[in-house]
Amino acid sequence: MTGQLNEIGGRLKALREIMDISVEKIAKDLNVTPDEYLGYEKGDKDFSFSFLYNAANILGVDVVDIISGESPKLTMCALVRNGGGYDITRREAYDYKHLAFTFAKKKAEPFMVTVQPANEKPTLHSHEGQEFNYMVEGRMRFFMGELSYDLETGDSIYFNSSVPHAMSALDNKSAKFLAIVMQEGVK
Domains of the chain: 3-68 (1.10.260.40), 86-182 (2.60.120.10)
Long-range contacts of 20-24 (CB under 8 A, 24+ apart): 21/58, 21/59
Angstrom CA distances, 165 to 7, 70, 130, stand at 27, 28, 12
Residue-level pLDDT, tens digit, the chain, 187 residues: 477 788 888 888 988 888 889 999 999 999 899 999 999 999 888 877 788 888 988 988 888 888 877 776 777 788 888 988 888 765 667 888 889 888 888 889 999 999 988 888 888 988 889 999 999 999 999 999 999 999 999 999 999 999 999 999 999 999 999 999 997 654 4
Angstrom CA distances, 10 to 135, 138, 183, stand at 34, 36, 24
pTM above 0.75, yes or no: no
Calculate ∠ Cα 163-62-79, nearest 5°.
Answer: 105
Angstrom CA distances, 154 to 33, 95, 113, 175, 177, stand at 40, 20, 15, 12, 9
pLDDT in tens, 89-139: 656 678 888 898 888 888 899 999 999 888 888 889 888 899 999 999 999
CB-based contact 137:154 (threshold 8 Å): no
Helix or strand or coil: residue 169? strand
